[in-house]
Amino acid sequence: MAVASADIEAGLAYHFQQPTLLEQALTHPSWLAEHERAEAHNQRLEFLGDAVLQLASSILLFEVFPDEDEGTLTRIRSALTKESTLAGFGSALGLGEAILLGKGEQRHGGAQRPSTLADAFEAVLGAIYLDGGLEPAMALVRRLVAPALADVRALLASENPKGALQEYTQEHYHGVPRYDLLKVHGPDHEPRFEVAVVFLGEALATAVAGSRRAAECQAAEAALAILQQRDAAAAEEAPPAPSGK
């Protein structure tokens, strides 16, 4: 393991009674294929960790939002457990530097690939559950998701950025944005789509991604942030309202 187990445990705030579980959780299938002595990779633990995550996040949301309905709770949980969110957790815990990868995966940047980081995080969560039960797994989930739950509106916007942008522009400007495809880059088998978000005649933001939908979502997220920052700055500069006296 490139990073000492003690360092990973410090980030997790959890000490394993069975260290082999942590090692397995950080063993990518590509490593197993190149090392005959390796006993198991992390896919089974990832399967378990996914279920633990769903349960832990459901319990947490049930506690934190006693007045929300099932639909809203489901949307929040979906945003908390999507790949990009889990990859962020894995990166924050330093799992990318610790996961054991085959040489090919290493050469192609596998340690920082979102799917690899997300899988490793779920596998580690599954390992914690097997080693210590639900309580320490819940504690880790609670600690990691707390910052996101402080701004649920932003969290849900990240789940559906195009919908969030349209809702914002309709509410504040009584209009809707337009998405223009500017250019398609790269070879036919691996195209990159460049998209601009246009609103009220202005190209607010552009993005490039492997699909047009992904590029539109990224551009929408950036455009929403720009509009919110502008409106916040304008509100600060506006003169105070008359006192009414």
**Which H helix or E strand runs over 169?**
helix 161-173
Tokens representing residue 42 in the block: 């992390």
Please indicate whether residue 50 is annotated as part of the active site. Answer: yes
Catalytic residue among 122, 131, 216, 221: 122
CA gap 107, 104 in Å, rounded? 5
Tokens representing residue 129 in the block: 């559950």
Angle at 152 between CA 146 and CA 157, to 5 degrees: 130
Tell me the backbone φ, ψ of residue 26, rounded to 5 degrees: -105, 20
CA gap 219, 11 in Å, rounded? 33
Handedness of CA 151, 153, 156, 160 (dihedral sign): negative
Tokens representing residue 214 in the block: 């992904």
Residue among 130, 129, 52, 125 at smallest CA distance from 89: 125
Residue among 57, 55, 24, 25 at smallest CA distance from 38: 24
Catalytic residue among 50, 105, 119, 221: 50
Catalytically annotated residues: 50, 122
